[in-house]
Amino acid sequence: MRYVVTGAAGFIGSNIVIELVKRGHEIIAIDSLITGRKKNLKAVMEMIDFMWADIRDINVCKSICSGADYVLHQAALGSVPRSVKDPKMTHECNADGTLNMLIAARDSGVKRFVYAASSSIYGDTKVLPKIETMDKNPINPYAVSKMVGEEYARVFNRVFSLETVALRYFNVFGPRQDPHGTYAAVIPHFIDCALKNEPSRIYGDGEQTRDFTYVMDAVEANISACEAKDANGESFNIGGGNRISINMLHQSIRRITGSDCEPNHVDPRPGDIRDSLSDISKAKKILGYNPYSDLSFDDCLGLTVEWFRRQRNEQP
């Protein structure tokens, strides 16, 4: 099969590309490299067709979709704080870029379009767990941009009969996630600080909770979503089905790494939600989704720590 993977040099996209290569598929990989890194694809670069280009250019989108069977649309400008700082660019990359890809997929006769949606669209509701039928209530520009992309996918399914599936990710973590920069996600930030034995930054009191998703579960969900019989036109929560406080997460990473790093609590960030937990029963039933499989959350944290440790040892 011929797959198009957008955001292919990013965290989730690169893991998808590597798994598809292992399974013998043909890959068209595209990334603007605004946040993606080519080194994430180093092991498979000679086995894929990589394009350094931007999906904000619709002609680029039409070019890569030509002859494709499936589109796995992972490209996005992530981070709530970044979206608060620059909502216009977030919208252009996430909403306009998604619309371009949908138009190109429709015109190219793609079999199915899988969209990397976001649990952020639920907002800061106190009702847990979050289920797909809940009202959307985005509270930051990033969440709005991801909701717009999902709504466009739904409309293209209904109006143009393009098969689409939306996967609402809950805090994905794992190998190849960037630990550096102002907008680093919490797990790679904690691991990086622990390995350096430096203080970790925690926003607010740290009692806020998150539902973390191991990246290989997100990869399997994308591949399953391409052909799952009853998935067309549907949205699915892709989470772990459990939640942990940021303080407890910090303690777990300290224990796994053997670090003495202390937390440094700072002011809460605008636009952040308080608690998150996914209901994944729909994904289990229709996609065969099975998060962590035979692994525990701590097992997946351990695998992630070991990957980051190897990266540090390989640095010159």
Strands in 49-52's sheet, in edge-to-edge order, are: 49-52, 26-31, 2-6, 70-73, 112-118, 164-169, 235-238
For 9, 76, 91, 117, 152, the CA distances from 148, given in Å and listed in that order, are 23, 12, 9, 10, 6
* CA dihedral of 2, 68, 286, 124, whole degrees rounded to 10: 110
Q: What is the distance between the alpha carbons of residues 75 and 100, in angstroms, rounded to a whole number? A: 12
DSSP-derived secondary structure for 29-96: EEE--SS--GGGGTTTGGGSEEEE--TTSHHHHHHHHTT-SEEEE------HHHHHH-HHHHHIIIII
Is 152 one of the annotated active-site residues of the chain?
no
- Which candidate in 70, 122, 142, 152 is catalytic? 142
| Cβ count near 134 (within 10 Å) | 15
| Cβ count near 311 (within 10 Å) | 15
For 78, 112, 163, 224, 285, the CA distances from 229, given in Å and listed in that order, are 30, 11, 11, 10, 11
Residues known to be catalytic: 142
